[in-house]
Amino acid sequence: MSQLYLASSSPRRRELLTQIGLPFHIVPASVDETPQAGESAVAYVERLAREKALAGLHFLAQRADVCVLGADTAVVLDGRILGKPADRAEALGMLRALSGREHEVLTAVAVANRDRCEARVVSSCVTFRSVSMEEAERYWDTGEPHDKAGGYAIQGLAAVFVSRVEGSYSAVVGLPLCETAALLADFSIPCWQS
């Protein structure tokens, strides 16, 4: 069986892979996350997941029997990708825009080995209750939204803003476990390893 590597520094993705009993190693995979001109949100997250997996595979060039998993998540509101906020003002603007509305969260997962690279994209719908400006400011002050797509973490303190989730909760966190397990099975890597 191939050794699994995760091309991500995300603690959430590490926790999710551990949750389904997968031993893995971390591999660096730095990619440019700038959306390309005219690129749809679905194409964007899939491209980044593939690029991360392939960058990790390139880093492991001296190792033959490896699989690398890459993933990317984007919050999409009115067709616009809300990335990680650059500063307080941008984060507060994102929370104001998401307040009282539903938005789409897209997460792509890709697995690559020396022969192929396969990917899946999962769409989930998240609904926020109304969020006051005072709450948004207090949330920013916690430090949690600083490096989160859309300026919030559903598995953290921002859970109080979420009134409904349709689709995969784990995908909103950062890794769609059902689709990830199926994809890894296609590469002969089973869940629940001892």
Q: Which residues are catalytic?
A: 72
Cα distances (Å, whole numbers) of residue 29 to 7, 58, 60, 95, 153: 5, 9, 11, 29, 22
Where b means 16+ CB within 10 Å and e means fewer, 66-95 reads bbbbbbbbbbbeeeebbbbbeeeeebbebb
Residue 120 makes CB contacts below 8 A (sequence gap 6+) with: 108, 109, 110, 176, 179, 180, 182, 183
Enumerate the β-bridge partners of residue 74.
106
> Checking DSSP bridges between strand 66-77 and strand 80-82, what pairing results, if any?
antiparallel
∠ CA 164-168-172 to the nearest 5 degrees? 75
Q: Provide Rg for the chain, Cα atoms.
A: 17
